[in-house]
Chain A
Amino acid sequence: MTLEYPDKGLVESHSIYRKRKPTVTLIVKRDVTEPTLFRNSNHDRAETQEFGDKLHAQVNGEKFTSKERLTGLDLLRRLDDDGTLIDDEYTYNEPDDLADSLNVGTLTYGLAGTGDQDFAIKSRVVEGYTYTTDEYDLMNKETRNAVYETGTMQDNEGEQSQALFDFVKVQPGNDLVHFITLEAATGPMLLYTLHNILNTGKYGARETRTGRNVRNDVLGVILGDHDTSLSTGELLMEYHSDDDDLVESLSEYIQGVRREDWDVYGEFEGAEAAPNWLDDLLSVAAREADDADEIMKEEFGRLMTEARENFELTDE
């Protein structure tokens, strides 16, 4: 399969300076499939925001990007057999110099280098704050006892554990709608971001022990010559009430703020059905296509060659 990218929404090649900023917005529904703990300044629960008279959990976009970035780096390491996609020495969050730090992840999500060399690569991915679509029930606490090595709540002298702690988790059935916007991105950057969204299933605190807790689904894609960004807060505050169907509210919102240059694809009113290029892109990104790895390797290799030339790193 050869991937085709749309004429709109993306730039043709990597460049450091940009005047034109076409954008792609992915409408992602994050289904909570297991109780998930999003914590912030309170260690036991999420931040909240009140819409109408109901409390919604508010989650910082970074809680999603940080996990998605790691999925991407894992992919790069898996695909890279000749050292062209990611440097062996590169460690996320501890960047050294630009030459070692340049990979599809840093080009897409940005990076600030404070080690041997000062540099800043801006992120082309904007994942804003998001909120649960339904009420966040603060009364629904899970109380736990600390467990001893015996695996019980009694220590070896038979004393009962005194340590109790509560969690307020987002319960299954409560979802998050997230608008993820790529600004002046190239085709491979869109492929990479989609891969990371579709292949990340663990978010929030204690995810390594609770297993897969969120299932991401791309509900739609918006392409535009200009900024196509949308706001989950605006959707929930202005276009959605308790009894409304979420997809209907979403459709109403997009039609309400839609600009003339937008192409909207998805399974909701006012949107066109996904064209072939989008189906192909999604099947490679989800690693459903047989030759997904091969295609991704080729696409990412192309982006790296362009970027190295732009950063004048080809001689090293």
Chain B
Amino acid sequence: MNEQTFEATLYAPLFYSSSEGRAIRTQPTLSATALMHALGYRYFDMEKRYAEFGEHATTPDYSHLRDASFFVSDMRPVAVETDERTFRSTDYRSERNFTTNDTDLARQISGDKSIPSILEDSGAAYQTIRNYLGVSPGSTFEFTIWSEQPIPDRPFFRMGIKQTGEFRAEESSQNSIILNKYLLSEVYDVSEELLTELMEHCDSFKRGNDPRLQHFVGSDPEFVRDRIIPEVV
């Protein structure tokens, strides 16, 4: 099993919802679920569905990741800026969107101020008004990948909404491994016992208000290599 650690540089603004709702926030740690897809499509012949219907079009499904011949860590922020890029609101599944300069409206969208009832009670397009916060170009991240076949020394991949996040990575030395609890427990069905052991073999466990935002920070590389990787690859 190859283990490669990379430092990735972002070259375009990345919008990516680590938590959803009215305010779409990109937290500085980028989730492994997104990175699995980005690398899978590019380097591991992962199947992409160009059309989805009914519930499949609206509900995420990660079960196909179980068949992947590789596994990745979360992307640990090295030097990251998560500035507010724009007030932008849009219906999740349509192209309808609008931009506003109205500070009051923007505060309503971001959840700092209550939404006028006319917007709350109106049709679907207005109810899904969203505020996007993004990661700025020039930000850098570290991640580790375990795979049968190594990936190139300088991989390029895209992530995020509309695939705007353009990354080029270079091999680097490993500083810290962050593993995603959602991926391990919900996608790979890793047992509670093993997750408890992993918790004892990491520096800290970071909780979030969304299942996908829970991370094992500073996981012990030996433990990950010997116990976790054989379970998931």
Instruction: Fill in one digit per residue for B95-125: 1 if any A CB lies within 8 Å of its CB, else 0.
Output: 1100101000000000000000000000010
A121 contacts chain B at the CB level, 8 A cutoff = yes
A30 contacts chain B at the CB level, 8 A cutoff = no
A215 contacts chain B at the CB level, 8 A cutoff = no
- Closest chain B residue, CB of each to CB of A307: B51
Please determine whether A112 and B95 come into contact, CB atoms closer than 8 angstroms. yes
Could you say which residues of chain A place their CB within 8 Å of the CB of B47? 17-19
Could you say which residues of chain B place their CB within 8 Å of the CB of A112? 57, 93-95
B85 contacts chain A at the CB level, 8 A cutoff = yes
Could you say which residues of chain A place their CB within 8 Å of the CB of B152? 259
Contact segment of B154-162, B171-179, B209-217: B154-162
Please determine whether A20 and B99 come into contact, CB atoms closer than 8 angstroms. no
CA distance A40 to B84 in the complex (A): 13
B91 contacts chain A at the CB level, 8 A cutoff = yes
A72 contacts chain B at the CB level, 8 A cutoff = no
- Closest chain A residue, CB of each to CB of B46: A19
Please determine whether A128 and B166 come into contact, CB atoms closer than 8 angstroms. yes
Interface residues of B in 54-106 (CB under 8 A from A): 54-55, 57-58, 85-88, 91, 93-96, 99, 101
CA distance A124 to B137 in the complex (A): 24
Tally B residues with Cβ within 8 Å of A. Answer: 43
| Given A16-B50, A49-B137, also A114-B101 (CB < 8 A) | no
Please determine whether A119 and B166 come into contact, CB atoms closer than 8 angstroms. no
| Given A19-B45, A19-B47, A119-B53, also A128-B164 (CB < 8 A) | yes
Interface residues on A, range: 35 or more
B22 contacts chain A at the CB level, 8 A cutoff = no
CA distance A21 to B163 in the complex (A): 16
Please determine whether A231 and B50 come into contact, CB atoms closer than 8 angstroms. no
Interface residues of A in 220-243 (CB under 8 A from B): 226-227, 229-234, 237
Interface residues of A in 250-300 (CB under 8 A from B): 257, 259
Q: Which B residues form the contact surface with A (CB < 8 A)?
A: 11-13, 41-43, 45-55, 57-58, 85-88, 91, 93-96, 99, 101, 124, 137-138, 152, 154, 156-158, 162-164, 166, 168
Q: Which A residues form the contact surface with B (CB < 8 A)?
A: 15-21, 40-43, 47, 49, 58, 60-62, 92-93, 95, 98, 111-114, 117-122, 124, 126, 128-129, 184, 226-227, 229-234, 237, 257, 259, 311
